[in-house]
Every structure is written in structure tokens, then in C-alpha cells.
Amino acid sequence: MKHCLIVDDSAVIRKVARRILEGLSFRTSEAEDGEQALSRCRTEMPDAVLLDWNMPVMDGYSFLRALRELPGGEIPKVVFCTTENDVGNIARAMRAGADEYIMKPFDKEIMTAKMQEVGLV
Amino acid sequence: MLDADFDFLRAYLKERSGLSLSAEKRYLIDSRLGPICRRFSLTGVPDLVTKLRQGRDRALETAVVEAMTTNETFFFRDKTPFDIFKDTILPQMLAARAGKRKLRIWCAAASSGQEPYSLAMILDEARAKLAGWQIEIVATDIAAEVLDKAKAGIYTQFEVQRGLPIQMLLKYFQQKGDAWHISPAIKSMVTFKQMNLIKDFSQLGQFDVIYCRNVLIYFDQPTKTDVLRRLSAALAPDGVLLLGAAETVIGLTDALAPHASKRGLYVASGAGRAGAGNTGAGNATAETGKMRVPAGGLRIAAGG
Ligand SMILES: C[S@@+](CC[C@H](N)C(=O)[O-])C[C@H]1O[C@@H](n2cnc3c(N)ncnc32)[C@H](O)[C@@H]1O
């Protein structure tokens, strides 16, 4: 079973994402900010990270850069999931090493398509 | 709704667009024609049927036919048919057409354009190998409304997130407010035309590749057979046809056969080609007496 770490400061978004991902046969874990997410990745590297951009403590962008420095940090497929829907931000995230990008709001179909795109469904 | 009205609409739609409406789909009439009634200031479906019977309102007739079509589509829908295009069809056509350097592709139920534009993006990615080639993508649909959207090439955030890889979005679209505009270069690769598949389409000419996906499912058996027969006549002898995941040629025509391993891909079988002309006058002659090019051009073998 593939493991997806959901990183978002909104409990509602985490819950929606969890339901959808579990429906796609993912095992999920959650973090409220980038720093929590990093420490989870140090313990267990997930197969995928669903990543918000704007979060307190450490934002998604800084998390992504720190993640890719960790041993094994190149493994997870990182899918940004954010309201930063501006093309400039998307390009910046992709340059920073994200694999896919979901513009909020999203639904099951979009999540499925994106997880298919990164080869996890 | 009276049974007589339902029967009338059913026959009407079958004749106009090939749509075969089963009794279980009766609810679709109310849900889809309700808005049409309001648009044309009609009191309800019985009123609408009366108007249609009079046969004097062309705009209403078109609106009814278009409202009853299902236009669901998305970029790179089902993925595999596009992988097949990139990895199998394109390399083999590049070899088979190396002399002529000409390729004609037809999307026969293109809806709002995502399918032909997906093919155009794949072709653009292969641009280096296609220098000097003349490539035509003809995209047709019965419905003018979806074709207008296709021609505009403007999509919502929701639409560009279904099936379109983010790198392709960045590369081939421009963001204008909430809308995403397909690049002029990709847009210029596709020609859109209105075309009813149940009518003669032989004037479109011959194609190397035909995508006719997720439209035959709405037709009854004889209509499917007729359309498939004429599609096979519009294919080059070594051309290929792609159907939707829920569609097949099996039991409908022996002019086409499924590819040995690629699902959804069909090739000319060699059988039933004579007399496979279109229904319109004068086109049968173009096909009859023409020799089939022996295998060796396209090595996409038919199989069981
Ligand atoms: C479900 S969409 C399929 C779009 C695309 N091929 C795909 O697979 O995503 C079906 C399309 O077929 C069109 N259609 C229905 N009847 C037709 C007919 N008789 N001739 C041509 N197009 C037709 C509809 O207008 C609609 O846009």
C-alpha cells in the first residue's frame, strides 16, 4: 500500500484529501506544517506528499527544498495542492522539484488524475 | 410526459443524431430539455414536441439535438489512447509516410477540443522528427456549441486539471484571470468543422488515423455498424482507428480488427473493404477497384 503524507494547516482540507486518497487505496498520515512534515519524513519516507503552500512555521516551498536534501528525499512524489493558482507560482514550484500541482479547489477526479500522472495510481 | 411525446422525441433524435434513447434514459428528456423550454419560452416538453412536429423552428431543432448529446471529455482522456499515439502510431506512421511526409488525423467526435488538442501537443513534443511534414488534424462534432468552445480554446481551471500534466499546462497554455487559453501554435494545428457522423462524411477525404471515441456508445447496433463501415472506408489501407474504452468493432463489422495487444486500437482487416463506400452518391467509385497496399507499410498487425 502506497503511503501519502498530507501536509496542510487546514484540518478540513486534510480530511477531504484523506478520504479521497484512502479511496484510491493510499495509506495516509498528516502534518500541519512543513516542520512537522519534515520530522515525519525523517522517520518514514512516504511515497507521496500532498503539499500546501502557505502554512505557519514552515511553508510548503521551504519544506520541499529541505525534503530534497534529506537522504531518500528524492523518492516521494510531491504534489502541491494550493490556492496559489498563479502560473508564476506553479512554475516556481516545479523548478523547486515538485512533480505535480493541484490548484484548489480540487475534487476526487482531479486528485485521481494527478496521482495517475505521477505514477502512483 | 406522454408516451406519444417520448416516442416522437426518441425517433426524432435517432434520425437527427443517431442517439438511441432507451426507456431507462427517459429522465434525460426532462433534465436536458427543461432548460431548452425556458430558453425558447415554451411551457414544457409537450409544447416543445408540438413545435418540433410543426418543423418550422430550425434553432429549436438544433438546440434539442445538441442538448441531448453528452459532451463529457478531458485532456488525454484514459491516457492509453494517447500513449498509443505517441509510442506506436506516430513512430510507425513516420516510417510508413517517410516518402510523402504527410499525415492526416481525424477526431470524429471532438466535443470541446480536448482530444484533438491533446494530439496536437503530442505532435508538438515530437516536432524535431516532424520537420518538413504536413500534418493535418481535422476535428469534427455534430454540436456547434461545443465546437465554438473548442475553437476558442479557452478552458476552466477544473478542465485543465483533468488529465493534463502540469508541465504541459505551463508549456501550452496562457493564464488569463481564471481562464486558461491554449497557445495559438497548438490551436493553429487543428481545423474544426461541424459534421454529423450518421450523414455522409466522405468529403473529408482519407485519413491515416481516426479517433472516434465515446460516441458510438450512444448509437444502436445498425447505426454503429453503418458508421464503422464508413469510417473504415475513410481510413488509408494501413490506417488506424481508435475507439473509446466501452466501444468495439467486434460483432459489428469485419472490415476492422482489434490490434493484437493495444486496447482500443483497430486496423483494417482487409475484409469487407469493397463496397465500404460512404452512403452519399459518387464516392463508392473512389474505393472500388483500388488495390489494397500490401502489408509492410504500417506494421501494426491485427490480432485476435
Ligand atoms: C462524450 S463526447 C466524446 C468526446 C471525445 N471524443 C472523448 O472521448 O473525450 C461525445 C461527442 O459526440 C458528439 N456526437 C454525438 N452524436 C454525434 C453525431 N451523430 N455526429 C457527430 N458527433 C456526435 C457529441 O456532440 C459529443 O461532443
Q: What is the per-residue pLDDT across B154-186, written as a single tens digit (0 to 9) for each?
A: 999 999 999 999 999 999 999 999 999 999 999
Active site residue B57: no
**Residue predicted with more confidence, B276 or B62:** B62
Contact B161 A106 (CB under 8 A): yes
CA distance B206 to chain A (A): 34
Nearest CA in chain A to B75: A113
Angstrom CA distances, B100 to A27, B93, B96, B103, B123, stand at 53, 11, 9, 8, 17
Q: Which of B77, B97, B141, B273 is catalytic?
A: B141
Residue intervals in chain B for CATH 1.10.155: 3-68
CB-CB under 8 Å, B175 with A86: yes
Instruction: State residue B283's pLDDT score.
Output: 36
CATH 3.40.50.150 segments of chain B: 80-287
Q: Which of A82, A73, A9 is nearest to A46 (CA)?
A: A73
**Looking at the predicted structure, is the pLDDT value of residue B280 above 80?**
no
pLDDT computed for residue B302 by the predictor = 52
Instruction: Using an 8 Å CB-CB cutoff, list chain A residues near B158.
Output: 110
The pLDDT assigned to B270 comes to 72
Confidence band (pLDDT; 50, 70, 90) for B1?
A: confident
- List of chain B residues whose C-beta atoms are within 8 Å of the C-beta of residue A109: 162
Residue B245 predicted with pLDDT over 80:
yes
Strands (DSSP E) found in chain B: 102-107, 134-141, 154-155, 173-176, 179-182, 190-194, 207-212, 235-243, 256-258, 265-268
The three three-digit cell numbers of residue B201, written as one number: 462524411
CB of B204 closer than 8 Å to CB of B236 = no
Every domain of chain A and the residues it spans = 3-117
Q: CA-CA distances (angstroms) from residue A121 to A7, A77, A97?
A: 20, 12, 20
The residue of chain B with its CA nearest to that of A95 is B167
Q: What percent of chain B has pLDDT over 90?
A: 85
CA distances from A52 to A5, A13, A36, A91 (A): 11, 10, 13, 15
User: B54, B71, B70: which is closest to B20 by C-alpha?
Assistant: B70
Question: Which ligand 1 atom lies nearest to the CA of residue B17?
Answer: 19
Distance B110 CA to ligand 1 centre (A): 6
**Mean pLDDT in residue range A41-65:** 95
Specify the CATH number for B3-68; select among 1.10.760, 1.10.155, 1.10.3470, 2.20.28. Answer: 1.10.155
List, for residues A61-116, the tens digit of each pLDDT value: 999 999 999 999 999 999 999 998 999 999 999 999 999 999 999 999 999 999 99
Q: Which residues lie below 8 Å from residue B148, measured CB to CB, with a gap of 6+?
A: none
Contact B44, B32 (CB under 8 A): no
User: Topology of A3-117 in CATH?
Assistant: Rossmann fold (3.40.50)
The whole-angstrom separation of Cα B28 and Cα B31 is 5
B166 and A94 within 8 Å at the Cβ level: the answer is yes
The three grid cell numbers given for residue B72, joined into one nine-digit string? 463529457
Q: How far apart are CA B249 and CA B260, in angstroms?
A: 14
Cα(A48)–Cα(B194) distance, rounded to whole angstroms? 44
Report, as an integer, the average pLDDT of B125-150: 97
Site of grid cell 434525460: B28
CA-B77 nearest atom, ligand 1: 9
Q: Which of A91, A113, A116 sits opposite B161 (nearest CB)?
A: A113
What does the block give as the cell for B67?
Answer: 442538448
All three cell numbers of A72, joined, read 531518500
Reduced to 3 states, what is the DSSP secondary structure of residue B223? helix
Residues of chain A contacting B, Cβ within 8 Å: 85-87, 90-91, 94, 100-103, 106, 109-110, 113-114, 116-117
B292 has pLDDT over 50: no
Q: 3-class SS at B102?
A: strand
What per-residue confidence (pLDDT) applies to B297?
Answer: 38
Q: Which of B32, B57, B124, B263 is catalytic?
A: B32
Fold for the domain defined by B80-287? Rossmann fold (3.40.50)
DSSP calls for B159-203: HHHSS--HHHHHHHEEEETTEEEEPHHHHTTEEEEE--TTS--GG
Question: B159 vs chain A: nearest CA distance in angstroms?
Answer: 9
Length of chain B: 304
- Asked if B32 is an active-site residue, the reply is yes
Q: Take atom 13 of ligand 1 and give the residue whose Cα is closest.
A: B109
Q: Is the pLDDT of residue B284 over 80?
A: no
Residue B255 pLDDT level (bands cut at 50, 70, 90): very high
Decide: A67 and A78 in contact? Cβ < 8 Å: yes
Stretch (H or E) spanning A3 = strand A2-7
Question: If DSSP codes are grouped into helix, strand and coil, which group holds residue B221?
Answer: helix
Are A114 and B161 an interchain contact pair (Cβ–Cβ within 8 Å)? yes
User: Can you tell me the mean pLDDT for B262-285?
Assistant: 62
Q: What is the pLDDT of residues B21-46, one digit of tens each?
A: 999 989 999 999 999 999 999 999 99
Our mutation pick for probing the ligand 1 site, out of B69, B74, B138, counting the most ligand atoms within 8 A of Cβ, is B69
If we measure between CA atoms, which residue out of B103, B104, B133, B143 comes closest to residue B18?
B143
Look at residue B269 in the predicted model and tell me its pLDDT. Answer: 84
Q: What percent of chain A has pLDDT over 70?
A: 100
Cβ within 8 Å, pair B158-A114: no
Continuous segment of H or E residues that includes residue A23: helix A11-23
User: In 3D, which of B229, B72, B270, B267 has the Cα closest to residue B158?
Assistant: B72
**Which of B166, B173, B180, B181 is most worth mutating to test chain A (most A CB atoms within 10 A of its CB)?**
B166
Which residues of B are less than 8 Å from A94 in CB distance? Answer: 166-167, 170
pLDDT band at B287 (very low <50, low <70, confident <90, very high): very low
CA–CA separation, A13 and A21 (whole Å): 12
Q: Which residues line ligand 1 (CB under 6 A)?
A: B 17-18, 69-73, 77, 109, 111, 115, 141-143, 146, 196-198, 213-215, 244
